[in-house]
Amino acid sequence: MRITRRFTTENRSAYDGIAFRTQASEIKKSDGSVVFAKTDVTVPDGWSQIAVDILAQKYFRQAGVPAKRIAVPEDDVPEFLWRQQAAPDINELPEDQRSGGENDARQVFDRMAGAWTYWGWKAGYFDTADDAQAFFDETRFMLASQTAAPNSPQWFNTGLHWAYGIEGPSQGHFYVDYRNGELTKSSGSYEHPQPHACFIQSIADDLVNEGGIMDLWLREARLFKYGSGTGTNFSTLRGEGEPLSGGGKSSGLMSFLKIGDRAAGAIKSGGTTRRAAKMVIVDADHPDIETFIDWKVREEQKVAALVAGSRLARTHLNAIVRACRDWDGVDSDQRFDPKTNKSLKREIKAARASEIPENLIRRAIQMARQGRTKIEFPDLNTDWDSEAYATVSGQNANNSVRVDDDFLRAVDRDEDWALTNRVDGRVSKTLKARALWDRIGEAAWQCADPGLQFDTTINDWHTCPQSGRINASNPCSEYMFLDNTACNLASLNLMAFRCVDGSFDVDGFSHAARLWTIVLEISVLMAQFPSREIAERSYHFRTLGLGYANLGGLLMANGIGYDSAEGRALCAAITALMTGTAYTASAEIAEEHGPFPGFAVNREDMLRVIRNHRRAAYGHHDGYENLSIRPVPLNAADCPDPNLAAAAKKAWDTALETGSAHGFRNAQVSVIAPTGTIGLVMDCDTTGIEPDYALVKFKTLAGGGYFKIINRTVPLALKTLGYNDEQIDEISRYAVGRASLIGAPKINESSLTDRGFDEDAFERIENALDGAYDLRFVFNKYTLGEEFCLETLGFSRDQLDDTGFDMLEALGYTKADIDLANAYVCGAMTLEGAPHLNPEHLAIFDCATPCGRTGTRALSAESHIRMMAAAQPFVSGAISKTINMPYTATVEDCQQAFMLSWQLGLKANALYRDGSKLSQPLARLFDDDEDEDRDEDIDIIDEIVERPPAARAEVIAERIIERVVERERQRLPDRRKGYTQKALVGGHKVYIRTGEYEDGRLGEVFIDMHK
């Protein structure tokens, strides 16, 4: 193939024009402990700290990179593509200097792009060495400029053997040799990397044989180890009570799902800190479907029971021990007899009333008799990573129910629905379709699972139905194809193609889509797979997953609302152009290398699907072939970029024409993935097809700490809408705040001076305002110093130690004063109420949830669904997206969202109602001891759920701190010993001071800072 250059220049470095910097990368836990640190990370200068940290921690190879390497010449390979390996004399170096890790981003870009180009050259994908060099340079530039990124397993694995000669023992993988089509067992771990992120695997109703139940856990483990995810439809497994061939009854689907769930929970993907990614799918007519739907609901109820039970048991059992210990009778043995020890009798009665098991009650008395004064009992909580969640099942997978049109029409007509046995096909149970539908809606409302996959729509758009039906998806539901196949993902950063005037770089985007289609196709031929069947079927169908990120950012930057006809049309046009271009590239490859082996038998079906895509691109409302649900077509009249809409139509004309002539190299070419980690590596404001989540964000600093910045798309949007620089600055300051009290209303240098603040105290406050969310978090003894607060401001120690103490209020400021100053200094974190802003423009800045403490606007669930519907007709696979719903959403709202998704032609959807998981912070706020005021807590809960998320977070943070401090504080003596350490940091004098209890234990630490 011929490769043209657009981003690079021949005979010049691929990185020409990109500045690089060297800096540190450090990641800490919430307790301040360092979990990762690297001091010499070299990265493109434009990358944010978050992107740097992800690259350094997750994607740099941390060990095994030889310090000295030599090239391995190959006669038929250009010299710049010769792979490398450790130098023969490397052992002459000291052992600790022979190898290390990557520390320069160019090492990562070079090894990935080099491996793709190397394998592409070996397989004859480039006409000349100049084409190969152009491909190598263009892909490296796009990686470095954050224009595009492949899925995580590519970063983990690709190029380690090519660039460094890294070897590893075979893990039981297979690949099909591109030279002769023969299935081959891999001899190592890295020569053929595992670059695919998404897998679909089958399961046979067989316990121990290959392809069966226990074999699936092994195949899943191979995938999780290298950072990939997998999904399976488990509907082949017989239901509970169905007969076994050797006699007896089956334990049912759920018993095996729990084994797989536990196995997945024990593995972290790719040796990194993320969990294994797994999807469990069950058809709506499976005999165990009702139990499956309720699975996570019941398990979360168990978490609640464990948490409540552990705390009740701890409270009552220790009360029983205390009653024994504190008895003041004469006969010591009688203290353990409830007949004589009335306090013990009362505590036993209270324990029984709380359902504490009788054996535990007796055990507590026995332990008291043996001299124990306290019973250690687990204090479980609802944290996601807590022991309570680890104890229950179902927490390591996404669950989905597979529903077809027959079921959904039965729901609409209130008809019966039959559940059928897997062995003999007989009806095991008949129930109302609406009863099952209600169960699905309530489960999604309660715990955000299960999602739905719309089987009929999925298979109507299937390009290869003659080879089998589509039964399942990957964990995020964007890759949907035949069982035992894999998909390799990559995403384009849409903001990289936004021109200065706001127009879309159609030619640049088409160029990138073509090159990344080639990248993904080459990745298929170089890859290894976890089983024979996946290796063979991935070779035969060669499915790809090109997608994009930053749609929400692009729309906002262009002054287009996410919930608007223009926004949906722009999304449709971009998606249509991407997939049409990718299919055209696939057909070009097929012209030279032949179509995918499964094309011939599926030719007519695939061309029918391509024609349906083209009809949607042309805006047709009818005339579709063999579709049960008509798609939402592109409305070119609504598209704000006519050239883009025209290019989208042309792309599908070319795809159909070229594919009809030569076939296609790939059965699928596109998906819309969530792009979580790679979206952050590309510094995308928004991921996948999502809208923005906030207008003000916190930027991480290299040395630690953070400061607030306006979302970078906001000023672009305001400029597009015609606001001048002064107005944009004032609107931005309204959102972010000025981070200074100079000129602030009510609370400022003048009013503080009147209250006793000197220049030094005011400077301390000023220095603490950069990342402040609320002024109340700054005015405290830790910022000002305890001595100043006591002696100058005249506060008592009790006031300063009181977590509910409001220093500003105590200084005489009213709530209105504080609110005015807060808005000026810390910002509203929303544009609602901003000066100069036309109310008609507010919709452009709507986010997924309300912004700031006072924001009320947010995108509706319907707006999310309609945006997905705009893109879906132009995606080979599906769209991974969770529909966010407010806390106040009802079960019926959830059902309506699912129904609308089906009616608009989506292939899958999942819902998340705010507050539907026990592990959310709201559920952890009010775990007080028995003597706390529960009525007050209920009032606070009611207050919090009505607030926007940002304001809710403020109350949550205060409440958590208050509980922790008040419960565990031991007062320090008024006169205390301590230690002071002086240091000079960046020209600033820093004093670390401590205070000690009378027994020498550390009681407080605070830092003073002076210029």
- Residues with active-site annotation: 474, 476, 478
> Side chain identity at 265, as an amino acid letter?
G
User: What span, in angstroms and rounded, lies between the C-alpha atoms of 480 and 468?
Assistant: 12
Residues 993, 417: Cα–Cα separation, whole Å: 71
| Residue 472: strand pairing partners | 481
In whole angstroms, give the CA distance from residue 899 to residue 408: 8
Q: Which amino acid is at 807?
A: M
Handedness of CA 859, 862, 863, 867 (dihedral sign): positive
Contact 492, 578 (CB under 8 A): yes
Interatomic CA distance for residues 559 and 553, integer angstroms: 10
Q: Is residue 50 within 8 Å of 687, Cβ to Cβ?
A: no
Provide the 8-state DSSP code for 862. H
Contact criterion met (CB below 8 Å) for 494 and 574: yes
Nearest to 503, CA basis, from 317, 362, 641, 699? 641
Structure tokens at 160: 């380690």
CB 615 within 8 A of CB 622: no
Our measurement of the distance from residue 867's CA atom to the centroid of its chain's CA atoms, rounded to an integer in Å, reads 20
Q: Which amino acid is at 324?
A: C
Query: What's the Cα-to-Cα distance from 625 to each of 403, 437, 619, 661, 872, rounded to whole Å?
Result: 22, 30, 15, 21, 17
Beta strand 398-403 with 277-283 is parallel
Q: Please list the alpha-helical segments (H only) found in 749-890.
A: 749-754, 759-767, 781-784, 786-787, 797-801, 807-810, 815-825, 861-871
Tokens of 926: 């009010």
If DSSP codes are grouped into helix, strand and coil, which group holds residue 604?
helix
**In the block, residue with structure tokens 């657009």:** 6
Look up tokens 């589509």; give the residue.
470
How far is residue 701's CA from residue 692's CA, in Å, rounded to a whole number?
A: 22
Distance CA 519, CA 516 (A): 5
- Within a 13 Å sphere around the CA of 145, how many CA atoms are in the beta-carbon half? 21
Cis peptide before 715 (omega within 30 of 0): no
